[in-house]
Each structure stands twice: as C-alpha cells, then as structure tokens.
C-alpha cells in the first residue's frame, strides 16, 4: 500500500521472499504478494494452567511446492495433519492439499530475568492461570520453501495471523485468552485497542486511557506511528515482575491498577516505547528508557493529567545520590534504574536547552525523531543530531551529561514556562482521514481509498492533508507534491498558533510508467498502466417475446476482476450483425450495467449478443387456439352403450368421453402446442405436437369417469358440466305366462317386460320366483328408454295354484287334479298342494317313499 505522509507511514505485515521469508519485511509499493499464510489459534486449557494449546494452520498458494517449519522449543507437538516430522522440531509439508495443521502444547508462563523495566513485586512477564491467560506465544518458525516461478510483479512470502479460540483477543505478538471487554478509538492514523479482562479491576477509566493515547499520538511527533496499538490491562491477581511491558512494535500490557492521572505514567511510558525505532549501541542504549520515562511525564503534564510539581518530582529522581557516579554512555557504571531516572532527567534538560536555543522551534522530540530509524545510533550520531536540532553549545552540554557523571538539576516552574511556553510557528501535516485517506478521480472511478499503488493513465491522485501550526505564533506554510523530483502541485497558507487547515495536493498521470512521488520527506512509488479489459458477466433483455415487431432493450453486466481500472468496447449484435457499440470504463473490482435498444422489424427468432454472449428473443411467437366445434360429435363409450352427439349426456361410472379439438397456430413462427382436457382444473389427458405458423390439426382427447359426482370438464376455452352416476336399476313393467292353467303337472314359461325409464343406462339382475322361491336369475342391461323381454321356464309339479313372479310383478297358474287310479297327491305331492317329502312308515318302503321331482328351467330372453 502506498503511503504519502511521513507521520502515517506503515508497513505491510507478514511478507518475505521465497526461500528467505520473514514476518517483518516491508512490502514494496509495486509488489503483489501471493503468500503462504500461517494462522496460529490459541486455546485455553483450564485443566493445565501454565499451558495453552496452539493450532497452526498453514495455507499454501498454488506456487508452493515445498515448505518446512519449526515448532517453538517451548512447544510439544500433539497432532499434525498434512505435515511430517523431519529432524528435531522441524516438520515438512506433505503437499497433499493446500492446507495443513500442527497442534502443540505451549508453556505460557514467562518470568523476568534480573531487574525488569518499571519493576513490580513479582516475577511474571506473561502468565496463564487456567481461566485466563496473558501470553506472548512465539511464532512457528519458517525454515525453507520452494515455489514455482511466478510473474515479476508477484512475490511469495509468509503472512502471519493470530486468533483466539473462544473468548479472547490477539495483537501481533501479545494475546489475551478469556472473557473481556474491548474498547477502541482511532486517531492520527492509529487504531487503539484496549482489552479489559473480566478478571481485571481498573483504576483508570478505559476511555481516559484511550484519550491519553490519542493525545500522545498527536503531540509526540517523532515519526513511526504504527497503524495498530494493542494494549491489555493485566489483572493483578498475578505477581507481575513489572508494571507494564511493551513488545515488538505496538503490543503492550499494563497492570490494571495503574493510574492514568499521574506523571509517573506507565500507560504513556509503554505507548512511547511503541513509537520507538531506536537502533542503539551500548553508548546510546540509555535513550530507550530515558525517552519513555521523560516523554510519558511531559505528555502527562501537557495533557493536564498531572501538575508541574509531580512532573518535577519524577525528574528529580535522576539526581539521587546513587546515580552520582553513573555515566550514561558507559553501562558498566549503571546502578539500578539509572537509565530510567538519570536518563529521563538528562533528556528533559536537553529538551529545555534545545527549546531555549531555538526560540522553541525545536525540541528533544526533534532529536528523537531524527534518530528514530533503522540506522545504528552511536554517541557521535546522537551528539550530531543534538547539534543539528540546536547548536554546538547544546551539543557540548549533551556530550558532558552523557559521557561524564555530571548530573543536571531540575528546573523551576518559571524556567519551565520560559522554555516550554509560547513557541514560534511550527507546521506539521498528516493525512486528513484515517480511513481511505486518498481520492482517485478520472474516467474509470471516483473513489476514496487507502491504496494508490497502481493507477491507469489519465487518473488523478488527490491527497487531502491536515496542516497544523503546533508552534506558538502565526506563520506561513508551503507544502508541495513532487513527481520524479519535479513539483507538480503546491499549496501555501497562513495559520495562527494551534490552528489547522485542510488542503489538497493533486496530480494527473497522463502516461504509463513507474513514478517516484513525494510530499516533503515522505515518498512512495506509483505504477501507471494502460487500463485492463473488462469482461461481460451476463446478458439479458427486457422481454423475451414480442407479439408484434418492435424494440427490445439489450443489457449486459460488465465486470472488472483486476486490481486496476479497465476500459472495454462493448459490441451489441443482432443475428451476428453489429447494431451498437459503447466504450465503458470500470474501477478495480467494479461491475457496471450497459444497454442498447435493438430494433426487431419482422416476425421470427433473433439471437442478440454482447461481446459474444447471446440470448434469444422471439417476435410474434407461436400462439395456439384450442377450439371445440359445437356441432362436432362427442363420443360416449362404456360397458352399456356407445353414443355420439353434440352434447354430453348424463354418464355412468366407467364411461369414457372423447372430444375432438382443433388446434391452430395463430403466431408467426413454428411452435409446440399442448392440448389438454381437464377435470375440475386438473389435467386428465393431454396431447402435444408441433405446428408451423398458420397450421391446424384436429385431435381427440378422452377422459374416463371412475366415480359418481358432478364434474367441470374443460377443453381449450370451452367448459362443460358433466354429471356422473352409478348405473340405474331396471324396472319390470309386467309379466305373462304362456298358460294360466295346466290339466296336470308340467312346465310353464313366464315372460317379463323390462324397461329403463332413467336418463342413464341401467343394469341389474331379474329374479324369477315360484311361490317366493327363486328358480332363475337373469342379468340385463338397458340403454336409456330401452325395453326388453326375458323369460324363464319352471316346472309345476303338482296340482294347485302357483304364484309366479319376475321382480315385483307376479301372476298365478293353476294345475288341475287328473282322474285315474292314482291321485295327483300320490303322483306329485300331497292333496293340500305342498311339496312332497321323503317319508317312512307302515305301508311304505324306503324306495316307495322316495319322490323325485325334476324341474327344468329354460330361460328365454327376447329383445324388442
């Protein structure tokens, strides 16, 4: 990420080059990184206080072919997935998938060795209690890696991340595991995060601590502002070896019971450490704690967190007798805390002397800022910086206080006002916004962004700056933006003391190339290229069919998947012929709709396209009508009848209705029809086919009704109501016999006239009875209004009168008694007309008593 302001300089985290990756190399402004990512997740182990579990998940880019890591010596590996042990603590990636893990237990407790900074009463620097932990887990080490060749602008490195399983929070090098509250504030290019554990009892309000950090961020003008400042308020249930501790660049912890309204300010002391980038030698190492102690007290006084007496009391510690023989440039002479106390007094006196010598236009912060880089600081370099800020006299004073046991005295309130009171005009400038501080304007985009590494030709970079007069009198500022050493934009103005103004510096890059861009001493590199090409992601029309020739709107969504602007010519086509063109510009990662009106003048099917992607529109599409001729014959067919007619008669269960339907394509193109016959809205049967424009066909659709009821029958746009019933019951209208009297026993034929008076077919069984006993059964079926005759023959075996019936109609037949030697009773039965039965007794034998009667019935059915 390109950064154009010295007070807000940052570095890209966690990158390196293949084969020699580290987690602190700065990313080059024009380099694209395709990194291996190592994510360490920390987890409490309540059953084993003093130990936490770490799972390191390593994600590999496609370019990675080999990769080896080393587990910290404090860790004991418990599980691996995708890694194999090689030698000692080393583990090699198997390459089977693009993500692998190592899990290990880690000793979390760390104790102090000797006297620590800002000493406490205990011995712990980091600790795990089981229910919470404040730890500095070491990183899993990168040993070696091999990667396939990639583009010149793409490098492979190692990107490190830290997370906490469950409740907790992690900075770059310090993590808290357990329940907590998080407080945040952003100012002056820095984001402050304060973690207050549930187990901590705070002496100062979290918001007051963040306010002190915010003011110090603005007032301590020594460069090297880290983007993130991560602070933990340490619970006091642990015997900490120190009152506070800052590690790496901007991670730190402070005991929760430390006050903020004090000159002896641990919170600000550790914050000043976070601003240091002092590459000291033995002769200048005193600067580390001296500047932290002095500036913490000075910032507390400036922000009304303390008074002058308390400020003077902190500095007066440096004149104690135990420091009489201390020489700051010679560590062998140091007594306990000499660099803190005597060092702070010397730094303060030099601050006062520099302000007096420069009419308050310079201060010790000027020296601090000059030395605050990666260049090694020996004593001569320190004295040179003092002379540059002030003069030879002050430099000689500095040399005497540092190289001898000479000790300055503290100063009075009046002397303080003389040196630290009103100062001449002094200007600082910083990016006007913490988030998205730049603007990029031009034909492709108009956005606020924090990334100006890569631009396209004809884009303009606008840098809004806040210019502040931090001096004590009115003055004029003059700030310029240079490209390749040439001033291309300049703004001047006048500001009173403590007044600020927002200005803008801008430049348009008209040609491709790589440019060195600077505002004052802050420099970056911007790469300018021709725009990339966007791609068509999707194509659509506002309507896919037109009933008649007309216009449609053809639209496309363009996507720029690159991290640079794009410009593309969009071609709209109709059946392969270009009908319109548009030139479209897009910002990186943006999408944009583009459209054109296309004329479709004739019926037919059209293929419309945008840069090769197509969709289809049909003009005058196939339109089908489904007509039922009111005079056409409808067929009803079933077990009992087959009839045709223009209307559907009442039906019985099991009958099928067949309806002729004429299908016509009234549209301008061929299409597929679907003719349906529906019963109560549900399709019962259908027929499909294809018809050309203007073509017709006649087909039939049938439906069978399986249950009685009233149904709505729909074909095309015609609807009929159909009544379906169970079959009707036939009626016996009359009966007749061929003889009403018989001179002797014999056979009689009885005929029945059967009718169907119902509007639906009838079917059933006709029972023939003699004296109430069924002797024959006939099955009959009749259509509507049909009549038929059925007959059955029955034997009348004896004399008497017999009741013969068919259904509910009956008649009688009489058999007379014959003359002769044997009575009818002896021949066919008893005299009373009852049927004879087998009997035994005097005068009868078994054979003689057996009377066998044979009845033969002939059924005759005659239809007429």
- Taking the chain (864 residues) in runs of 10, the rounded mean pLDDT of each run is 34 29 39 81 96 96 91 94 94 94 95 58 87 93 78 73 95 96 93 97 96 94 90 96 91 97 97 94 96 96 91 96 96 96 97 94 94 90 96 97 97 91 74 84 89 89 91 82 92 89 94 91 88 90 89 94 88 94 89 93 91 91 86 88 90 93 90 93 93 92 93 89 93 94 95 93 94 94 92 95 95 80 41 36 32 32 33
Q: Which residue from 175, 149, 179, 181 is spatially nearest to 160, judged by alpha carbons?
A: 175
The SS3 of residue 345 is: helix
Tell me if the pTM is above 0.95: no
Residue 681 to residues 630, 634, 653, 686, Cα–Cα distance (Å):
21, 20, 20, 13
Tokens of 648: 């559907």
Q: What does the alpha-carbon distance between residue 40 and residue 54 come to, in Å, rounded to a whole number?
A: 6
Q: In what order do the strands lie in the sheet with 228-234?
A: 180-187, 190-197, 228-234, 251-255, 244-247
Residues 850/852/853/858 CA torsion (nearest 10 deg): 170
In DSSP notation, 767-825 reads EEEETTEEEEEEEEEE-TT-EEEEEEEEEE-SSEEEEEEETTEEEEEEEPPPPSSS-HH
Q: What does the alpha-carbon distance between residue 381 and residue 385 come to, in Å, rounded to a whole number?
A: 6
For 831, how many CA atoms within 13 A lie in the half-sphere containing its CB? Answer: 2
Strands 809-815 and 741-742: parallel
- What is the per-residue pLDDT for 821? 38
DSSP classification of residue 156: -
Residue 766 to residues 113, 611, 776, 782, Cα–Cα distance (Å):
120, 84, 8, 13
DSSP classification of residue 285: T
For residues 600 and 619, is the Cβ–Cβ distance under 8 A?
Answer: yes
Q: What does the alpha-carbon distance between residue 752 and residue 735 come to, in Å, rounded to a whole number?
A: 4
Q: What does the alpha-carbon distance between residue 721 and residue 557 come to, in Å, rounded to a whole number?
A: 53
Residues 362/368/373/379 CA torsion (nearest 10 deg): 110
Task: Tell me how crowded residue 729 is: count the other CB atoms within 10 A of its CB.
Answer: 12
- What is the per-residue pLDDT for 27? 36
Q: What does the alpha-carbon distance between residue 201 and residue 186 come to, in Å, rounded to a whole number?
A: 25
List all residues 6 or more positions away from 523 whose beta carbon is below 8 Å from its beta carbon.
516, 517
Rg (CA), the chain: 54
Task: Give kind and range of the element (H or E) at residue 864.
Answer: none
- What is the per-residue pLDDT for 149? 65
SS (H, E, C) 637-683: ECCCCEEEECCCCCEECCCEEEEEEEEEECCCCCEEEEEEEEECCEE
Q: Return phi, psi of residue 661, to 5°.
A: -125, 135
- What is the per-residue pLDDT for 410? 96
For 449, how many CA atoms within 13 A lie in the half-sphere containing its CB? Answer: 20
Residues 243/248/250/253 CA torsion (nearest 10 deg): -20
Question: Burial level of 661, CB count in 10 A (0-12/13-18/19+)?
Answer: buried
- What is the per-residue pLDDT for 829? 42
Tokens of 257: 């019971």
Maximum CA extent, the chain: 182
Task: Give kind and range of the element (H or E) at residue 717.
Answer: none
In DSSP notation, 293-341 reads HHHHHHHHHHTTSS-HHHHHHHHHGGGSGGGTT--TT-GGG--TTHHHH
Q: What does the alpha-carbon distance between residue 195 and residue 168 come to, in Å, rounded to a whole number?
A: 9
């Amino acid at each position: 990420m390109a950064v154009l302001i010295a007070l807000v300089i940052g570095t890209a985290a966690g990158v390196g080059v293949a084969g020699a990756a580290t987690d602190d190399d700065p990313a080059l402004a024009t380099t694209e990184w395709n990194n291996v990512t190592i994510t360490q997740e920390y987890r409490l182990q309540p059953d084993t206080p003093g130990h936490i579990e770490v799972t390191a998940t390593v994600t590999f880019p496609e370019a990675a072919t080999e990769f080896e890591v080393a587990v910290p010596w404090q860790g004991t590996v418990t599980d691996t997935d995708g890694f194999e042990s090689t030698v000692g603590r080393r583990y090699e990636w198997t390459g089977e998938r693009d993500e692998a893990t190592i899990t290990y237990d880690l000793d979390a407790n760390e104790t102090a060795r000797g006297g620590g900074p800002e000493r406490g009463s205990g011995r712990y620097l980091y600790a795990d209690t089981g229910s919470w932990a404040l730890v500095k887990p070491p990183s899993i080490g990168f040993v070696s890696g091999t990667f396939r060749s990639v583009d010149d602008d793409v490098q492979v490195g190692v990107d490190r991340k830290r997370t906490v399983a469950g409740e907790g929070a992690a900075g770059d090098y310090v993590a808290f595991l357990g329940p907590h509250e998080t407080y945040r504030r952003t100012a002056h290019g820095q984001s402050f995060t304060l973690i207050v554990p549930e187990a901590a009892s705070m002496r100062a309000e979290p918001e007051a601590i963040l306010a002190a950090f915010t003011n110090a961020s603005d007032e301590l003008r020594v460069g090297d502002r880290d983007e993130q400042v991560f602070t933990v308020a340490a619970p006091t249930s642990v015997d900490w070896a120190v009152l506070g501790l800052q590690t790496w660049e901007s991670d730190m912890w402070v005991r929760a019971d430390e006050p903020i309204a004090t000159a002896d300010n641990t919170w600000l002391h550790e914050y000043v450490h976070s601003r240091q980038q002092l590459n000291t030698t033995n002769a200048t190492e005193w600067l580390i704690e001296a500047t932290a102690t002095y500036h913490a007290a000075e910032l507390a006084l400036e922000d009304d967190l303390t008074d002058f007496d308390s400020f003077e009391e902190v500095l007066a510690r440096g004149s104690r007798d135990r420091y009489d023989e201390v020489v700051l440039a010679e560590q062998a002479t140091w007594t306990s805390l000499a660099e803190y106390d005597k060092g702070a007094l010397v730094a303060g006196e030099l601050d006062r002397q520099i302000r007096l010598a420069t009419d308050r236009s310079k201060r010790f912060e000027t020296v601090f800022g000059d030395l605050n880089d990666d260049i090694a600081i020996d004593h001569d370099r320190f004295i040179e910086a003092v002379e540059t800020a002030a003069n030879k006299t002050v430099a000689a004073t500095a040399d005497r206080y540092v190289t001898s046991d000479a000790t300055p005295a503290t100063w009075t309130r009046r002397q303080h006002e003389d040196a630290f009171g009103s100062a001449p005009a002094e200007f600082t400038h910083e990016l006007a916004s913490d988030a998205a501080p730049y603007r990029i304007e031009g034909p492709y985009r108009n956005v606020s962004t924090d990334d100006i590494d890569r631009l396209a030709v004809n884009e303009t970079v606008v840098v809004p700056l806040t210019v502040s007069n931090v001096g004590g009198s009115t003055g004029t500022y003059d700030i310029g933006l240079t490209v390749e050493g040439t001033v291309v934009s300049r703004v001047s103005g006048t500001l009173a003391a403590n007044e600020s103004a927002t200005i803008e510096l801008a430049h348009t890059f008209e040609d491709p190339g790589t440019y060195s861009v600077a505002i004052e001493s802050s420099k970056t590199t911007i790469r300018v290229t021709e725009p990339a090409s966007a791609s068509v992601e999707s194509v659509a029309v506002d309507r896919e069919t037109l009933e008649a020739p007309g216009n449609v709107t053809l639209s496309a969504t363009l996507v720029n998947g690159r991290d640079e602007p794009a410009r593309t010519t969009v071609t709209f086509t109709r059946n392969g012929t270009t009908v319109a063109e548009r030139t479209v510009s897009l910002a990186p990662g943006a999408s944009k709709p583009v459209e054109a009106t296309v004329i479709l003048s004739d019926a037919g099917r059209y293929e419309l396209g945008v840069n090769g992607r197509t969709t289809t529109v049909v003009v005058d599409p196939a339109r089908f009508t489904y007509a039922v001729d009111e005079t056409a014959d409808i067929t009803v067919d079933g077990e009992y009848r087959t009839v045709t007619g223009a209307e559907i008669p009442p039906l019985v269960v099991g009958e099928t209705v067949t309806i002729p339907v004429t299908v016509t394509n009234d549209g301008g193109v061929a299409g597929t029809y679907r003719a349906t016959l529906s019963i109560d809205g549900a399709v019962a049967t259908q027929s499909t086919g294809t018809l050309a424009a203007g073509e017709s066909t006649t087909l039939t659709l049938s439906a069978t009704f399986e249950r009685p009821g009233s149904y709505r029958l729909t074909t095309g746009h015609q609807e009929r109501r159909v009544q379906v019933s169970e079959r009707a019951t036939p009626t016996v209208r009359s009966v007749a016999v061929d003889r009403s009297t018989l001179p002797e026993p014999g056979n009689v034929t009885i005929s029945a006239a059967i009718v169907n008076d119902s509007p639906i077919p009838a079917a059933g069984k006709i029972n023939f009875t003699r004296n109430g006993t069924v002797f024959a059964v006939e099955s009959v079926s009749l259509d509507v209004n049909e009549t038929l005759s059925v007959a059955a023959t029955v034997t009348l075996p004896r004399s008497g009168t017999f009741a013969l019936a068919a259904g509910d109609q009956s008649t009688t037949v009489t058999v007379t008694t014959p003359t002769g030697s044997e009575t009818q009773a002896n021949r066919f039965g008893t005299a009373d007309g009852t049927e004879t039965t087998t009997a035994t007794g005097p005068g009868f034998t078994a054979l003689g008593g057996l009377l066998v009667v044979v009845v033969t019935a002939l059924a005759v059915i005659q239809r007429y």
